[in-house]
Structure 1
Amino acid sequence: MIASWFRKVWFRLVTPVFCLSVFATLSLGSQAVAASPDASSEASATPMNVVVLYADDWRHDTLGVAGNPVVQTPTLDALAGEGMRFTENCVTTSICGVSRACLFTGQWMSSHGCDGFKPFETPWEQTYPGVLRDSGYHVGHVGKWHNGKFPGENYDFGRSYYGRHWFKMPDGSKVHVTQRNENDAMEFLGNRPKEQPFCLTVAFFATHAEDGNPQQFLPQPESMHLYQDVEIPVPANATDESFHRLPEFVANDGNEGRNRYHWRFDTPEKYQIMMKNYYRLATEVDSTCGKILKTLEEQGVLDNTLVIFTTDNGYYHAEHGLADKWYPHQESIRVPLIIRDPRMPADKHGSTNDDFTLSVDLAPTILNAVGAEVPESMQGRDMATLYDVKDASQAKWRDEFFYEHPTIRDKNFIPKSEALVRKDWKYFYWPEFDREQLFRISDDPHEENDLINDPAHAKQLAEMRARFKELKREAASKSNGGS
């Protein structure tokens, strides 16, 4: 591979046209395999661009193409038809700040050191935007940051804002946060240097609630006609019985998940209002994604751009009598992932994959796709193996992973939780209470029947306890950016 400093020198100092020609030749030669014969001739001639569409508080099934009978997401449904949708994609920590640190660093929380909303400890040059900028890319970030002070000096184009759905602009006008995301993304795409490859991360604030506002979800007026005549189905386990099957340190009104349930879901009328507005926010994000993709097409670069849609964490829609995320249940940890990769073989377009892919896989996947050097600190894996761009026989894909979440404020507010996640079994551990849970997901997908005290599963429990400890150690193996 070409050293990142060498690429940087070429891009910054050599004439643009000559530089691109040299970089394309060297970069393509450094990739593990040649580009797919289905890729366009343009994609094989110039460095690949990267666009990451990164939404908020949006779980795996909030997509029409995922079978949701209500939400309208035509752009993302079409994107899935042009790429691959990963149906068992999960986050390794289900909370805004930490999950974003996992995205940028390709590391578990135990290694990047962000256990809330502070800056991660991994050096910037070991993040995917850092590597790409050092490699000569024009790098932009639009929208939510949530990892301490936004490091604007590390971007060629940086606009960070979140927390509200409506912003008052300097000229006195008001703009919705998703429209602001769109405006800034369009400015980046319109003004980017045409001689450089680019990377843009659009970090939407939607569908996150506006905390503290009694309305919670505030879509744009033109979206209010959507879902007016629809009855949103209420989950079967959005009940007090399910809530009280949770450990007592969660199943109480002092827990923030229950507190937010009361904000949003504790009456049938409130549930309908909140969920309709939540889905309206989702459709607005979908619309903005459509405009970004259309601009890429109009600029003639869509077929040479790696496009990724995913989100920072899942979301309870009142399941278990809870709201928001944090805990290791399926609703909280499973998130959508769609990848449209110009190298992807045509027979993979519109397909799905049910392997465990993780938030930490995105950074190494991005860097490998463009032929950049992947830092040794990154713990994720290149997902291109799963769509035949790389030899799938090189290594067996994971069939389990370690989940971790920090304490937020104190153990009564949001307690620390950990888990060993498999498709057929899941082991929970609540460290501050030394409490274990065991669920057989294959028979109990809603995680209602805790088998921890069932002697029939003692052997299964012992094996998972031991494996859990191994994976927990591995998650912390690259702390502070070390190798």
Structure 2
Amino acid sequence: MQTRKISLKFLSFILVFLYLFLGTDFVLLAQNRQEKRPNIIFIFSDDHAYQAISAYGSKLAQTPNIDRIAREGAILTNALITNSICGPSRATLLTGKYSHMNGYKVNEKKFDVTQQIFPALLQKSGYQTAWVGKWHLGSLPVGFDFWKVLPGQGQYYNPDLIGQKGDTTRVNGYVTDIITDLSLNWLKERDQSKPFFMVVGEKATHREWLPDLQDLGAYDDVDFPLPANFFDDYKNRIAAGKQDMTIDKTMLLRQDLKVHADYEKDGMYKRFTPEQKKIFSDYYENKISKDFDDKKLTGEALVKWKYQRYIKDYLSTAKSLDRNIGKMLDYLDQSGLSKNTVVIYASDQGFYLGEHGWFDKRFIYEESLKTPFVIRYPGVIKPGTTVEQLILNIDWAPTLLNIAGTKIPADIQGTSFLPLLHTPQVTKTPWRKGAYYHYYEFPQPHHVYPHFGIRTKRYKLAYFYGGADSWELYDLEKDPTEISNVYGAPGYESIGLDLKAELKSLMIQYKDTDALEILNLAK
């Protein structure tokens, strides 16, 4: 009996010791051993800007269901992308590695699915895994018990879907509704003896922004204010001045804004049913195209009109996205799954909603560098939590592995930010002071020069190469819209040198040898 008392005292001492030195990670480890491992749903949209989400303070539109995830969990205010373009972002999610390490630097290539991807690790550790919707990686999914994906970019109306047997079938309806229904069907039919991980891959809000029929004209009564830097002159910014992604010159009236669209020849309209085509064409021909013809706009007035049509179609397309997220959350509540299911909403990168006069992404500037990321984890994340640290998408995979109680491989380049979700305001968890970025795709489709750079809490340093060889430095505290390049300006010389040194250190840390070679030659 005396020996038993001593053993219990010793065990208590060990537990206290482990808690003091391992903190909440130890507590979670103990919980994972004793309780059911959590389910995980990752809702992953395409090109959805944080500026369009009310949880991020947007005045453009209300997104009550995305907001609900943030309100009942955590919102990341500095969730950053390492290469702001669709396919490479998805490859980074799957691998937890930079583009130069996972081999997928630009779009429309074939992602190597034979490499280590975290869903396969979850699968091996006992999770049932699924991916439904947009995949967009040139290859077919591996590491999933179930998948049904859109070929390439996919279509908004009556989309084709590829199944696991290699069969391609057309499903009538609107793509966001279809993806949600397929996801819910899988949830209902899954093996309920296992925890699950599912990616709900949304097509919305990718170009050409075709809203659901019920959302046509949802914002027609709103006159949206132009972003403060809409008429940016790109002074002292070579790459910004030579891009091809302006609402003025690049955005197409017929293709993008549906002005006198060709409903007989254009492939995306040929898939419409007669009923769908009538409703859609009545709105865009009888209202929008007529408005365009009647006004006979030119110059600045035309550019402003194009902006209004762009933002209204974009937000109308996003309306269905938020509505379907609500449908998913309602099912989790009704089925009792919400108590033990982590729900994440994120986009593959940010997007320009007229800032600098642009649409699209790619640049290291804030609107495309930052992406929305909200997460709900009942019983672990305190509702209303805000995480301000610099989180990168290389961190997503290790965090999900950490949540699932699955070992994180040493070669994953990201770091789990699960500790930051517990006590983000007072945490003593060491965290990165600078975030590394590297974009490659050039010259097509938008003539954005390749570049790399570093973003800290206050500053951003970037180097554009491949013909636009030049440095840019921004003081985000004084210049949040990034229109004043202060590289080499009086008072910023030492800041530039310090950031260069830190940039070089990150290139070495993440093994970006090609970038390091360019940096060493840069003037």
- What pairs with 1:4-83 in structure 2 (closer than 5 Å)? 32-35=25-28, 45-83=35-73
1:458 equivalent to 2:449? Answer: no
- Does the CA contact (< 8 Å) of 1:54 and 1:312 recur in 2? yes
Which of the numbers 203, 206, 212 marks the counterpart of 1:205?
A: 203
- Does the CA contact (< 8 Å) of 1:111 and 1:478 recur in 2? no
Question: What amino acid is aligned across from residue 435 of structure 2 in structure 1?
Answer: F
* Gap change, CA 1:225 and 1:407, over 3 Å in 2: closer
Match in the other structure for 1:277 = 313
* Alpha-carbon offset, residue 294 of structure 1: 1.6
Match in the other structure for 1:145 = 135
* Alpha-carbon offset, residue 228 of structure 1: 2.6
Match in the other structure for 1:421 = 455
* Alpha-carbon offset, residue 120 of structure 1: 4.1
Match in the other structure for 2:422 = 388
1:155 equivalent to 2:144? Answer: yes
- Does the CA contact (< 8 Å) of 1:90 and 1:359 recur in 2? yes
Give the 3-state SS of the residue equivalent to 1:68 in structure 2: coil
Which of the numbers 410, 413, 436 marks the counterpart of 1:379?
A: 413
Match in the other structure for 1:402 = 436
Give the 3-state SS of the residue equivalent to 1:402 in structure 2: strand
Distance in 1 of aligned mates of 2:245 and 2:149: 27
Give the 3-state SS of the residue equivalent to 2:79 in structure 1: coil
- Does the CA contact (< 8 Å) of 1:249 and 1:412 recur in 2? no
* Gap change, CA 1:296 and 1:386, over 3 Å in 2: same
1:181 equivalent to 2:179? Answer: yes
Question: What amino acid is aligned across from residue 229 of structure 2 in structure 1?
Answer: N
1:468 equivalent to 2:457? Answer: no
* Gap change, CA 1:393 and 1:71, over 3 Å in 2: closer
- Does the CA contact (< 8 Å) of 1:35 and 1:389 recur in 2? no
Q: TM-score, normalised by structure 2?
A: 0.77
Deviation per residue, 1:113-143 (Å, 9 max, x gap):
211133445754x322111111121111011
Structure with higher Rg: it is 2
1:223 equivalent to 2:215? Answer: yes
Distance in 2 of aligned mates of 1:243 and 1:44: 60
* Gap change, CA 1:321 and 1:225, over 3 Å in 2: closer
Distance in 2 of aligned mates of 1:50 and 1:190: 15
Question: What amino acid is aligned across from residue 309 of structure 1 in structure 2?
Answer: Y
Match in the other structure for 2:97 = 107
* Gap change, CA 1:291 and 1:478, over 3 Å in 2: farther
Q: TM-score, normalised by structure 1?
A: 0.83
- Does the CA contact (< 8 Å) of 2:112 and 2:139 recur in 1? no
Give the 3-state SS of the residue equivalent to 1:175 in structure 2: coil
- What pairs with 1:226-375 in structure 2 (closer than 5 Å)? 226-239=218-231, 242-245=232-235, 247-252=237-242, 255-256=244-245, 260-261=250-251, 267-345=303-381, 348-375=382-409
- Does the CA contact (< 8 Å) of 2:350 and 2:367 recur in 1? yes
* Gap change, CA 1:154 and 1:246, over 3 Å in 2: farther
Match in the other structure for 2:158 = 167
* Alpha-carbon offset, residue 171 of structure 1: 8.6
* Gap change, CA 1:168 and 1:32, over 3 Å in 2: closer
* Gap change, CA 1:450 and 1:134, over 3 Å in 2: same
Deviation per residue, 1:386-427 (Å, 9 max, x gap):
122799766411221111101334698232011110121110
Consecutive unaligned residues of structure 2, counting only runs of 5 or more, are: 1-23, 161-167, 258-301, 515-523
Distance in 2 of aligned mates of 1:222 and 1:199: 31
- Does the CA contact (< 8 Å) of 1:408 and 1:415 recur in 2? yes
Aligned length: 434
Give the 3-state SS of the residue equivalent to 2:342 in structure 1: strand
Identity score, percent = 28
Match in the other structure for 1:13 = none
Question: What amino acid is aligned across from residue 419 of structure 2 in structure 1?
Answer: T
- Does the CA contact (< 8 Å) of 1:35 and 1:44 recur in 2? no
- Does the CA contact (< 8 Å) of 2:217 and 2:316 recur in 1? no
Distance in 2 of aligned mates of 1:326 and 1:129: 27
* Alpha-carbon offset, residue 476 of structure 1: 2.6
Question: What amino acid is aligned across from residue 354 of structure 1 in structure 2?
Answer: E
* Alpha-carbon offset, residue 204 of structure 1: 0.5
Consecutive unaligned residues of structure 1, counting only runs of 5 or more, are: 1-30, 210-215
Cα RMSD, aligned residues only: 2.9
- Does the CA contact (< 8 Å) of 1:85 and 1:351 recur in 2? yes
